[in-house]
Every structure is written in C-alpha cells, then in structure tokens.
Amino acid sequence: MSAIIPTNSIITVAGTVGVGKTTMTRKLAEALQFKTSFEKVDNNPYLDKFYSDFERWSFHLQIYFLAERFKEQKHMVEVGGGFIQDRSIYEDTGIFAKMHADKGTMTEIDYETYTSLFEAMVMNPYFPKPNVLVYLEGDLDTILSRIQSRGREMEKQTPLSYWQEMHQRYQDWIDSFDACPVLRLDIREYDLINDDQCIKRIVNELEIYF
C-alpha cells in the first residue's frame, strides 16, 4: 500500500462503456489494499428494457442509477476505509441523462425532474466527493473492439451511432469536469493484464494528488 495515499480515500474510476473500468478498479484496490465499489449492472431491472427502447426507459434508468450511486456513496463513508469506485455519479447527469434530453429520448419535464433531484442530492457541501477521479480514455475503435469481445448481447445490438455519440460526449464532459482532481490515463499506454509493474506506475501517478 502507498504510504502517501490516505487509507480513507475514495478514488473513482470513470470512462465510457468498454474502456476497462472494472479491471482498473480491481487492480487499484489490490495494489492499495482498498475495498471496491462496483456498478450494479447484472441486477438492474431497467437496463435490458432501456437498450430496447431508449425513449420509454431512459428516465427510469437514470433515476435508478442516481439512487443506487447515492446509496453507495453514503455506504462508503459509513463503512470507512479506502474505496476504489467503478463509475461516478457525475457521469449520469453530465453524459447519459443530458444525451437523452438532447436527443429527445427523455422528455423535457423528466429531464428537469432528474436534474433537480441530482442537484438536491449531490450538489451540496455534505455530499462526499471522490478524492481523485481516474479517467480512462482511448480511441473509439479500441473501445468498440472491447465491447464486442466481452459479448454482452444488449451492447452488441446497440447502434454504432450511439457509441460514437457517447464517446464524444465523454470527451466533452471530462474537459469541463471540476468536481475533484482528475488523473487521465490513455488505455493504449498501459496493460494491466500482462504488465505486473503497470499498476505500480499508475499508483505513483496518483500519489501526486495527495
């Protein structure tokens, strides 16, 4: 464990679908001897429905994610100790909900309701922000290849245009993100699976934020 990174820190891993957040979360947690907080995908009651009908289920999905992430953020503080978190609560409002509002697959009223709830829950001094956000970025072709390789049927059937737009929105979002310090990592420049020293170098990069 790094002696520089406090043991009660929350480090959040962010990035678009397929960029490797889960692997990074596990590797960082192992290296720092921190707990993990993973996005709940498999038991999500809206995800399959959402991918088949964005307009019908986008609001339900975003409200579900907002509630689950808020509860998890509260849980991490109550449990104490260090956590590596897979995906941030900020991505939901800054990318996903906004994308559906812009495209008309979430109604204006639903979007206003969602953003009002988000601001009340998150944008206040009592909400525990991450100490650092580790942002994973890469070219679209590499990310699409990873999505195909992991074989989730609902993702493989999603139109290419959706992934293209999401990729661009992530780039725009991170360029203006200021809720906490950000460490940006290009997925083409490290190999967490085959290079045992790789995670040590990333931890060293993280240390400068503490």
SS3 of residue 69 by DSSP: helix
**Catalytic-role residue among 48, 86, 110, 178:** 86
Does 86 participate in catalysis according to the annotation?
Answer: yes
Residue 76 CA to residue 8 CA, distance in Å, equals 9
Residue 65 CA to residue 97 CA, distance in Å, equals 11
Contact assessment for residue 163 and residue 154, using Cβ atoms and an 8 Å cutoff: no
Q: Which one-letter DSSP state was computed for residue 200?
A: H
- Return the number of other C-beta atoms located less than 10 Å from residue 202's C-beta: 19
Q: Locate 171 and state its tokens.
A: 């780039």
Residue 179 CA to residue 202 CA, distance in Å, equals 21
HSE-up of 52 (CA within 13 Å, CB side)? 5
Residue 21 CA to residue 65 CA, distance in Å, equals 17
Tell me how far apart the terminal alpha carbons of the chain are, to the nearest angstrom: 14
Q: Which residues are catalytic?
A: 86
